Structure 1
Amino acid sequence: MNIKVGLAKSEHSTILISKGKIRMQHVFIIGSKGIPGSYGGYETFVDKLTEYHQGYSRLKYHVACKGEKSEEFEYHNARCFRVKVPDIGPIQAIYYDVAALKNCCAYIKRNHIEQPIIYILACRIGPFLGCFQKKIHKLGGKIFVNPDGHEWARAKWSCPVRKYWKISEQLMVKHSDLIICDSKNIEKYIQETYKQYIPCTTFIAYGAETRKSRLTDDDPKLLNWYKEKGLSANSYYLVVGRFVPENNFEIMIREFMKSSSKRQFAIITTVNDAFLEELEKKLQLGKDPRIKFVGTVYDQELLMKIRENAYGYFHGHEVGGTNPSLLEALGSTDLNLLLDVGFNREVGEDGALYWGKGEGELATLIEKADTFSLESIKELGIKAKKRIANEYSWKYISDLYEEVFLG
């Protein structure tokens, strides 16, 4: 069955009243690296959710945080608990989620918490979830899962790891009480692929800020960054994202090099020496001075301003759900050129331009975009920002989560 937020009623959406008093709903979140101070998609989501709900007397969050020692602290009125994770290589994430889940169960039992919700981000621990489901149901709780995107399709994983991801996803769906999908396409995929389990799903997207950067155009921090990178406002196309093959950096760079654009291509990304070496051999990056790898930017106000001042933004992600960097681009940059896949069209609609992976498609679109009038670009920007404000603002998203958690 398919739950629509705010309409359908089920066990998890009953009125929270116990003995004449309004009962506090406890929500345990595991699967992010933790808050504060991390800037991944899940980490930003948890940070914003707890920020917007920190004054709510009926919601109490418990957030698992990866750490070097076990401890507890308060942040945004959420109880954050660190889980010590040994250095055991790639399976650290699985160990972390299982250890956090054990911690949650023990805390719930010890404190006699009624009807808790365990919200698991990502599908890493499917083979273990059946056992935990029995324990959590016995404690009167429910398991909610956010499946993220198609993790099993990422090129960085070996074949055995991809198989594990796929099996794990299947078992997470099977043993959950509600699947919260951050993309309508992901929700459709879950419903069709795992229909034998009759999955209970709902759609709540990822969020984005709707304000402008607090930095001004003449802020020394911005000007110094431009000087260091050899850039200036409106002189560059931009991309921000993890430097991995499935984000289609090779196509974006190759097509930009084919284009006759006089602008530059600024790439804000993580370090991946092996992938960079591979692209250098294929594309001979050093021969085109327009291609600029400018490192990472963790200052969020600076990054927002860099987005605002970009002439255009490229987005090549194709295996995730609602992608944070896409929302941030649509909320900040007027001209957005997105890979034409369902996830991206679902978000951008008519507020962006779209390109395919065929030879010369993006290069042609870049040359066309270079000739756009200011009015045309502004019109696209207005549509993009309206889309974010109406459907993806953090306030709107946090309100939807309130409805799901409280009923």
Structure 2
Amino acid sequence: MSKPRIAILGTVGVPGGYGGFETLAQNLVEYHDATAHRSDLAIYCSAKAFPNKPETYRTARLRYIGLDANGPQSICYDALSLFDAVRRGDNQLLLLGVSGALALPLVRLFSRARIVTNIDGIEWKREKWTGLAKAILRASEWAAVRFSHVVIADNQAIADYVSETYRARCEVIPYGGNHALDAEPDPVAVVNLPSRYALALCRIEPENNVALILEAFSGLDTPLVFVGNWDRSSYGRALKARYKDHPTITTLDPIYEPRGLRAIRDGASIYVHGHSAGGTNPSLVEMMHFGIPVLAHGCSFNRHTTEGKARYFMNSAELAAAVRTLSPQIATRIGTDMGEIARRRYTWDQIGRAYFELLSNGRGN
């Protein structure tokens, strides 16, 4: 059997910065290296994000496309990556996200490469997309399911959606989160914060129910530390201004530095997760490894991720009630459950093994 030639496409590149797919790509490279996997591995990177353009990262060869990996250029970025991988003779293509999926019919026409696509969440349903962008994303999702040899869902609820909508099956492979424990905490990051607090951490977007969380905690004595990109949108700036003088609410700008992020997470006694779209959210599985109680929006994605063992809310009143009634005994039980689930399902060793088994054995053709 010939050695698999694997290309990972659809990310900014490695080493990974902020972003779920970048973290996934980096951890797949690290698994490939640590296990001395019998395959050639290439990662496509945005030349705009890596001006020095190193040729390799650990055991992976790096290839560069001169476009942004995100935003309006992402469709062309992914399509050019796909065509280049085919031209170079790669026979296992792992496409992360559906941005380039409209190119897949052409790839299938001229190549025998096996295409494995992680479709991420149900992107076209996100509130931030309207009109033409929503239509393109929906068409891209269809193309990804129709023209990929294997479709990966990161959450059983996504797999159920694909089955109901397209009569197709998915391989379910979630994300790992144990890397969140790797960095040593930086005590400077928490010097001005309460000794214990509830933590929320996300992109500041309506679908993450930021306003709902802030409203709930505005009437509670429990301190809330909320980390996010507040200044990126008028929505975020308005919320930040509204609560900037609240005595128990602290809004922090994004924290990407691993040591600072570890310290912020270590100081939390509750994690509040407002995401209501997508699938298995990386920030949720990362926080589950800290073994603290999770209060999550009650959408099907979060319930699957936490196996129904977190506490759930659908509005601000339910969230406030969940905080008020969280006794020490219940908090300990939920935290213990979250840690057990995280260690059982969301470690990178398991995720890496699942991906490389899928990319090496030809299942799904």
Q: What TM-score results when the alignment is normalised by the length of structure 2?
A: 0.91
Which structure 2 residues correspond to residues 375-390 of structure 1 after superposition, within 5 A?
375-390=329-344
Q: State the secondary structure of the residue aligned to 2:204.
A: coil
Residue 24 of structure 1 contacts residue 57 of structure 1 at CA under 8 Å; is this kept in 2?
Answer: no
Alpha-carbon distance in structure 2 between the residues aligned to 1:210 and 1:287: 34
Alpha-carbon distance in structure 2 between the residues aligned to 1:119 and 1:294: 35
1:121 and 2:96 correspond? yes
1:189 and 2:169 correspond? no
Find the partner of 1:233 among 181, 185, 195: 195
Alpha-carbon distance in structure 2 between the residues aligned to 1:66 and 1:47: 14
Query: Cα distance 1:76–1:294, how it changes in 2: closer, same or farther (>3 A)?
Result: same
* Seq. identity, %: 26
Which structure 2 residues correspond to residues 82-93 of structure 1 after superposition, within 5 A?
82-85=64-67, 90-93=71-74
1:279 and 2:239 correspond? yes
One-letter code aligned to 1:361: E
Structure possessing the higher radius of gyration over alpha carbons? 1
Consecutive unaligned residues of structure 2, counting only runs of 5 or more, are none
Alpha-carbon distance in structure 2 between the residues aligned to 1:28 and 1:340: 36
Residue 246 of structure 1 contacts residue 317 of structure 1 at CA under 8 Å; is this kept in 2?
Answer: yes
1:401 and 2:355 correspond? yes
Give the aligned partner of residue 9 of structure 1.
none
Query: Cα distance 1:184–1:350, how it changes in 2: closer, same or farther (>3 A)?
Result: closer
1:297 and 2:260 correspond? no
| 1:106 CA displacement | 1.6
One-letter code aligned to 1:56: A
1:42 and 2:21 correspond? yes
Consecutive unaligned residues of structure 1, counting only runs of 5 or more, are 1-16, 18-22
Residue 312 of structure 1 contacts residue 333 of structure 1 at CA under 8 Å; is this kept in 2?
Answer: no
Give the aligned partner of residue 78 of structure 1.
60
1:147 and 2:108 correspond? no
Query: Cα distance 1:27–1:347, how it changes in 2: closer, same or farther (>3 A)?
Result: same
One-letter code aligned to 1:125: G
Measured on the aligned residues, the alpha-carbon RMSD in Å equals: 2.2
Query: Cα distance 1:205–1:57, how it changes in 2: closer, same or farther (>3 A)?
Result: closer
1:24 and 2:3 correspond? yes
Residue 27 of structure 1 contacts residue 62 of structure 1 at CA under 8 Å; is this kept in 2?
Answer: yes
One-letter code aligned to 1:206: Y
Alpha-carbon distance in structure 1 between the residues aligned to 2:160 and 2:238: 35
Residue 32 of structure 1 contacts residue 42 of structure 1 at CA under 8 Å; is this kept in 2?
Answer: yes
Pairs aligned (count): 357
Alpha-carbon distance in structure 2 between the residues aligned to 1:192 and 1:341: 17
Query: Cα distance 1:52–1:233, how it changes in 2: closer, same or farther (>3 A)?
Result: farther
Q: State the secondary structure of the residue aligned to 2:88.
A: helix
Alpha-carbon distance in structure 2 between the residues aligned to 1:49 and 1:86: 22
Q: State the secondary structure of the residue aligned to 2:289.
A: helix
One-letter code aligned to 2:282: P
| 1:233 CA displacement | 3.2
Query: Cα distance 1:277–1:268, how it changes in 2: closer, same or farther (>3 A)?
Result: closer
Residue 14 of structure 2 contacts residue 25 of structure 2 at CA under 8 Å; is this kept in 1?
Answer: yes
Give the aligned partner of residue 307 of structure 1.
265
Q: What TM-score results when the alignment is normalised by the length of structure 1?
A: 0.82
One-letter code aligned to 1:104: A
Query: Cα distance 1:272–1:72, how it changes in 2: closer, same or farther (>3 A)?
Result: closer
CA offsets 1:270-307 (integer angstroms, 9 cap, x no match): 232411244368xx323522221111111223312321
| 1:66 CA displacement | 0.6
Q: State the secondary structure of the residue aligned to 2:62.
A: strand
1:267 and 2:231 correspond? no
